[in-house]
Chain A
Amino acid sequence: MTVPPREEPPVRDLPLDALPPPGAPAVEPFPWRRLDPRMLLVHPVLELVRFLPVLVGVFVLGSSNNDGGMWQLFSVAVPVAVGIVRFLTTRFRITPRQVELQRGLLSKKVLTARLDRVRAVEVTSSPIHRILGLAKVEIGTASGAKQVDDKFVLDGLPLQQARQMRIALLHRTQAGTPPGATAPGQVPPATVDGSAYDDVTLLGFDRRWVRYAPLTSSGNVIAAGVVAILGQFSETIGNRLIHQFGGLGWVTGRPIATLVPVAVLGGLLLFLLLGAVFSVLGYLITNWGFTLSRDARGRTFHIRRGLLTTTETSLERERVRGLEVIEPLGLRLVGAARLAAIVTGVSQQESGSSLLVPPAPREVIDAAGAAVLDTFEPLRVELGQHGPAARRRRYTRALLGAAVLPAGALVLALGTSFPWWVAPATLVLLPVAALLAADRYRRLGHALDEGYLVVRSGSLRGRRDVLQRSGIIGWNVHQSWFQRRSGLVTLVATTAAGKQAYAAIDIPEDRAIALADAAVPGLVTPFLR
């Protein structure tokens, strides 16, 4: 089936009488199930949290007005009632062909997803869920459902049941099994003791990885926010420091010229410190307890992580089209990297990159990648360099960019009363740019092995993409005017997975075409000169 693929949306609203799947007996052999009653506690608490601002207002107003009793009661009762209604009206069941989810009090809604379209199952437990031993199951299907309302979510199943459900959904019995024999959703006999589905742990969390956290940029964003907020109150803070604590006494009476660099340095240090602290905290919160495992039959990978809210993501092996080794400069300097899987889906919305391993030593990344791909080759293979023209281009671009500031400063200094020292000071950018260009060229590379196309690029945001050759569904050969003059092209392999496009940047034209021809035999051959 090639044209058009979206003719059969797997999640859709059906009238109630259309529910029994074709071939199912008229009596209902697959009983409707409810969520765990303990979810009754989850929702009110969540609703309370959501209503918190209102509640605070109500209680504050109530205590000052003395007639808010009714309102207080109301604001607590409403979320509780919403939770009860949700519990009473949500039902789901798993038949041999599909998962069905029914909900709604006044307007009934039935979501139906075909089992063979279930692509991912995510099990999430927030702290409240964990206290109650519950988990939220999100079923990812090949649909473009964007509205929260149309997503397939079962909020509140016992954790064990959630995991069994994940197994049942992902390891559904093959088509042709008589219904009821080992129907998905009912625990197959073999899993009663769990032996047939025991997961093989590929990789576990190592606390020492935390040291890589400050080298990622994640914390800096939060730190920037904090510094910005501090900036808003700088006057108040400054006044306090000077008047109340008598600190910063040496500031008064010193020339501005010495104070500015001190302030700038201090601000930078504060920023870096905050960034480091926040990234470590963020790392721990999202990655604590990380495990990468594979089911016994090697058909799915499970990624589990989280300190407060734990998430367990499952990934079907057949959807993995390759790997992205993400190695920004900071991580690269200490021999670390991050690993993501290039994942395909039937629709574009659900395909993307899915994190496999958080920042960790390169050997760990390589080992995990090899476990996923079943081969070390694409991760370790020596890459072909892109040649002198590509190197020249890296230097030209970096140096021209770096020359803009000094040149501008020089013009300003000549024309206006702009400080003359700025132009020479910004010259320091040039060697930095040269270093960057050298590294950017060194990083450029490509390779091809039996199964995979490997492209590498980027210095500050370095990455090595390993893309399954059979996952390449087209080529874009881009050539800017400058690239044409130096005989280079940017060869882009398009794919239905991950970033949708993976590029070999500034590769000599003949080598690009040879690479494309070799990677997908026959595709470009008729168009060769």
Chain B
Amino acid sequence: MPRAPVNPALREPAHRVSSKAPVLWAAGATVRSLLLLAILVAATVLDWFAVPTWAWPVYAVLAVTYIAAMPIVRYRIHRWESTDTAVYTQTGWLSRERRIAPMSRVQTVDFEQSALGRLLDLASVTVTTASAAGPLQISMIDKPVADRLVDDLTRRTEAEAGDAT
């Protein structure tokens, strides 16, 4: 088997996502934590099941850590890059997923902007190949960046020949 250079490893993709992303992630985490808290409170008040007293501080510590740490870690990990020949993304926070798709195999480029995204001028771009296993999602990037990326990708994939399977 031909070997690449000594101890080959992938470097991280070049670009971070928007700096507004951690705020949104933190907001999402807060909502989820509060929901769970509401259920616990409801359980205690309505006497569904007993929540031991020590569970409350434990829960508080876990929730605060999650809300504070997850967005920071995630912001460090979520990255993307698009070159002439390939698209490269990295996502995750506890686990890490790196995906690479050659430009010649890109089938569709989807641009998406949620209601909240419109408010904050954020968008996401999803690049699909002919495989059901490999959509590359670049979420929470600034809208101008996303627009430029879509233009870029469309132009580059049009230049490629073949049926991308």
For window 60-106 of B, CB contacts with A under 8 Å fall at 81, 83, 85-86, 88, 94-102, 104-106
> Contact at B3–A514, with CB atoms within 8 Å?
yes
Query: B residues within 8 A CB of A513?
Result: 4, 8-10
Query: B residues within 8 A CB of A525?
Result: 4
Q: Is A474 an interface residue (CB 8 A)?
A: yes
- 14 pairs, CB–CB < 8 Å, chain A vs chain B: A3-B154, A4-B107, A5-B130, A348-B130, A473-B130, A473-B134, A473-B164, A477-B10, A477-B99, A477-B100, A484-B95, A496-B129, A501-B133, A514-B1
Of B16-24, B117-125, B155-163, the one with at least 4 CB within 8 A of chain A: B155-163
Measured CB to CB, the closest approach of chain B to A465, in angstroms, equals 13
Query: B residues within 8 A CB of A509?
Result: 9
Query: A residues within 8 A CB of B163?
Result: 1-2, 5, 346
Query: A residues within 8 A CB of B130?
Result: 5, 348, 473, 496
Grouping DSSP codes into helix (H, G, I), strand (E, B) and loop, the A interface class, with mixed when no group exceeds half, is mixed
| Least CB separation from B5: chain A residue | A528
Task: Give Cα A66–Cα B90 distance, bound, in whole angstroms.
Answer: 76
Given A447-B1, A523-B100, verify A473-B165 contact (CB < 8 Å).
Answer: yes
For window 492-508 of A, CB contacts with B under 8 Å fall at 492, 494-497, 499-501
Task: Point out the residue from A384, A514, A527 that lies within 8 Å of B88, measured CB to CB.
Answer: A527
Task: Give Cα A429–Cα B114 distance, bound, in whole angstroms.
Answer: 50
Task: Give Cα A497–Cα B105 distance, bound, in whole angstroms.
Answer: 13
Task: Give Cα A523–Cα B98 distance, bound, in whole angstroms.
Answer: 13
Task: Give Cα A348–Cα B165 distance, bound, in whole angstroms.
Answer: 10
Q: Is B11 an interface residue (CB 8 A)?
A: yes
> Contact at A518–B94, with CB atoms within 8 Å?
no
Residues of A within 8 A of B (CB): 1-5, 344, 346, 348, 384, 447-448, 473-481, 483-484, 492, 494-497, 499-501, 509-510, 513-518, 520, 522-529
Residues of B within 8 A of A (CB): 1-5, 7-11, 13, 81, 83, 85-86, 88, 94-102, 104-109, 129-134, 136, 154, 157-158, 160-165
> Contact at A526–B108, with CB atoms within 8 Å?
no
> Contact at A478–B95, with CB atoms within 8 Å?
yes
> Contact at B132–A500, with CB atoms within 8 Å?
yes
Query: A residues within 8 A CB of B88?
Result: 527
| Least CB separation from A523: chain B residue | B102
Measured CB to CB, the closest approach of chain B to A273, in angstroms, equals 40
User: Which 7 residue pairs are nearest across A and B when measured between Cβ atoms?
Assistant: A501-B133, A496-B130, A494-B134, A494-B131, A473-B105, A474-B101, A496-B165
Measured CB to CB, the closest approach of chain A to B54, in angstroms, equals 19
Measured CB to CB, the closest approach of chain A to B93, in angstroms, equals 9
> Contact at A527–B11, with CB atoms within 8 Å?
yes
Beyond known contacts A4-B107, A496-B129: 11 more, CB 8 A cutoff? A2-B160, A474-B99, A475-B99, A475-B100, A479-B95, A479-B96, A501-B132, A510-B8, A513-B9, A527-B88, A528-B10
Query: A residues within 8 A CB of B98?
Result: 475-479
> Contact at B100–A524, with CB atoms within 8 Å?
yes
Query: A residues within 8 A CB of B5?
Result: 528
Residue among A479, A484, A514 having the largest count of chain B Cβ atoms under 10 Å: A514
> Contact at B81–A478, with CB atoms within 8 Å?
no
Measured CB to CB, the closest approach of chain A to B138, in angstroms, equals 15
Task: Give Cα A4–Cα B107 distance, bound, in whole angstroms.
Answer: 6
Task: Give Cα A437–Cα B5 distance, bound, in whole angstroms.
Answer: 32
Query: B residues within 8 A CB of A510?
Result: 7-9
Query: B residues within 8 A CB of A484?
Result: 95-96
Query: B residues within 8 A CB of A481?
Result: 94-95
Query: A residues within 8 A CB of B83?
Result: 526
Query: B residues within 8 A CB of A348?
Result: 130, 132
Task: Give Cα A528–Cα B81 distance, bound, in whole angstroms.
Answer: 13
| Least CB separation from B108: chain A residue | A4
> Contact at B95–A3, with CB atoms within 8 Å?
no
Task: Give Cα A497–Cα B134 distance, bound, in whole angstroms.
Answer: 12
Query: A residues within 8 A CB of B8?
Result: 510, 513-514, 517, 528-529
